Each structure stands twice: as C-alpha cells, then as structure tokens.
Amino acid sequence: MRRRHLLAIGAVAIATVAVAAQRPPKAAAAATGGGAAAPAGGFRFRGITGSEIALDEWRGQPVLVVNTASRCGFTSQYEDMQALYDRFRARGLVVLAVPSDDFNQELGSDAEVAEFCEVNFGLDLPMAGITRVRGPEAHPFYLWLAREHRFAPRWNFNKVLIGPDGEMLGSWGSATRPTARAIVRAVEAALAG
C-alpha cells in the first residue's frame, strides 16, 4: 500500500514538472503584449538530407507541421500525413515532418529516419532532420510556438497548422490523425483563403 502511494506521489510530481516545462515563462508570454501573435517567418530547418528547408518558401500556402518519431505508437500516422499531402498538395498544402528524439523514440540518425520512412511509408513530403521540439534547446520555430501561442508538443505526432499568412490556425494532439475531419476542414478553409 505504501509503495503504491509513493508511486502515485512520484507520478503526480513528474506530471507537474512536465506540464510546467511546457509552459513558456511568464515574461515571455507577457512580451506578446496580449495582442496578435507574430507570424511564423524566417524559420529554417535542416532537411533530412542536409539541405535547408525555409518556411518562407511556402509563404502564401498552409503548412501542417508534425513532430514525428519512428518508434512511436503513432508512427502509422505517417500514412495519413502522406495521404493528406497527396490530397491537397496540388492546391498548395505543405505537410512538414519534423522528426524528434525528445521523447526517446526516434532512430539514431537522419539517414536511418529517411530510410525507415521511405521503406515503410514511401514518403515524399518534406522532412526536417532530427530536431529538438521542447524545452530551452528547442528549434526556434517551436520556441516561437511556445512563446506566441503557448503550445509545446506533449508527445510525438502533435500537429500545428500554419496559415498562408504565417499565423497559427490550429493545433492537434497525437490522437488526432492528420486526416481527421477537424484538420481537413481547417486545411480546406486555409486553402479557400
């Protein structure tokens, strides 16, 4: 009985620390002035093959950004990411996969991730290299999401839709598939302009 109680207390403490780590500092949140958040722009990712991916190249197009991992229970969502991309790419949608090992479920190198995604899912959507998505060492895009929108991925396969003007239009957790009605509707609205 005592061991269960101690385990429960430990779990609550870990959960509290995890939630607190997801919140941006009050000073950073206050720096937004309570007004409209700054648009996403100027962010660059190292691509999975070493090339550079610049979000500004897609200005005027909606971009669904998904933090991914190869060894996650949600990894099958790569199929849905590709299906969404195939359905809407001709109309301008970009789906960007951002592999991350922040939850200790990614392969050891960009080359391994690229091979895994090609062999298992036949992906041809844009992919960043393995990237930090949480905490003070997170990529500047994810720091911007935390600061401006109070959003930090809680697990792999969290999704963020950036509108054609660079504004964050929505975010969804791991359990929401990329082809879910809520995401498809948001994408269609962004494409309709």
Note the pLDDT of residue 23: 33
Neighbouring-strand partners of residue 161:
64, 170
Query: Are the CB atoms for 157 and 175 separated by under 8 Å?
Result: no
Task: Report the distance separating Cα 129 and Cα 97, nearest Å.
Answer: 9
Return per-residue pLDDT of the chain as tens, 193 residues.
444 433 333 433 333 333 333 333 333 333 333 445 667 778 999 999 999 999 999 999 999 999 999 999 999 999 999 999 999 999 999 999 999 999 999 999 999 999 999 999 999 999 999 999 999 999 999 999 999 999 999 999 999 999 999 999 999 999 999 999 999 999 999 999 8
> How far apart, in whole angstroms, are the C-alpha atoms of residue 28 and residue 61?
28
3-state secondary structure 78-104: HHHHHHHHHHHHHHCCEEEEEECCCCC
Phi/psi of residue 170, nearest 5 degrees: 180, 165
Q: What is the pTM of this model?
A: 0.81
Please state, in angstroms and rounded to a whole number, the distance separating the CA atoms of residues 157 and 152: 12
- Predicted pLDDT of residue 40: 74
Q: Is 117 in the active site?
A: no
**Is the separation of the CB atoms in 133 and 67 below 8 Å?**
yes
pLDDT at position 161 is: 98
pLDDT the model gives residue 42: 87
**Residue of 29, 37, 72, 169 marked active site:** 72
Three-state SS at 172:
strand
User: What is the distance between the alpha carbons of residues 30 and 41, in angstroms, rounded to a whole number?
Assistant: 21
Q: Which residues contact 110 (CB under 8 A, 6 or more apart)?
A: 48, 49, 50, 99, 129, 130
Q: How far apart are CA 68 and CA 97, in angstroms?
A: 6
- What is the third-level CATH fold of 2-192? Glutaredoxin (3.40.30)
